[in-house]
Amino acid sequence: MTEKVVVLSGASGGIGLAAASRFKQASCRVFGLSRHEGGGCEWVKCDVTDESSVNEAVNEVIARAGHIDVLVNNAGWGISGSVEFTELEQAQRQLDVNFFGALRLTRAVLPHMRADKGGCVLFVSSIAAVASIPFQSMYSASKAAINQLALALANELRPFNIRVAAIMPGDIKTGFTAARAKNTKGEDVYLRQASAVRSMEKDEQGGMPPKSVAELLYRVSLKKHPKPLYAVGIQYKAVAVLIKLLPVRFANWVIGKLYS
């Protein structure tokens, strides 16, 4: 059998590091794409916001391994703040990394998967994609875009035997919290903002370990017919179901009360 090759963005810490470890435990050859070396796997320098860098990185993986079986789009970061006072440049940066970064990498990998008549593309999304969090609107928007991309891709790529899924974690205890860019501008206007961000960060630091997400990523990569969207953890599965069943106005009101 040919060794399974996994390409993983954002492998240097958190969910990415845990996912790299899990795939390596399964005897996969894992390539970590990032700007800085790390992650305990074969490192390939890559900036997901630079299309040339992405194409060069994918070409290097193909040169070294010959094929790509699984792509895990995990690179991402977060910003917080009110919609009104978030600088447009910062909002664009949020989407450029979280959404367009995944799009660039997926587009670069797909020709190789089509040539091999199969593969698996996974996205690390968030429960915030379906339950938009106040004062984390740009992050929620970037993950909602990822979900819609995954849904469309799942249908487009089905004839090529390329499977697609987005994994939606809730609160995960990682360095993501400390790395968040917090915009405090406008806190004198939006009096709930500071407490909402503190509550969100407290929940994150009391959240599940990243290995929970890593395990699901690995298991979904093995499925012949995966669902397009997966929530991680019983409570977040319940949230995803309730968001579908409850009237939108009521569900959004409940989310607002949780962060008031």
Could you say which of 139, 218, 230, 236 is catalytic? 139
Phi-psi map region of 78: left, alpha, beta (phi>0 left; psi -120 to 50 alpha)? beta
In one-letter notation, the amino acid at residue 91 is A
| Residues 6+ away with beta carbon under 8 Å from 62 | 68, 112
Residue 149's nearest CA partner among 105, 102, 93, 117 is 102
Phi-psi map region of 204: left, alpha, beta (phi>0 left; psi -120 to 50 alpha)? alpha
Total count of residues recorded for the chain:
260
Judge contact between 11 and 39, C-beta under 8 A.
yes
Structure tokens at 10: 């954002």
| Cα Rg of the chain (Å, integer) | 18
Reply yes or no on whether 236 is catalytic: no
Active site residues: 139
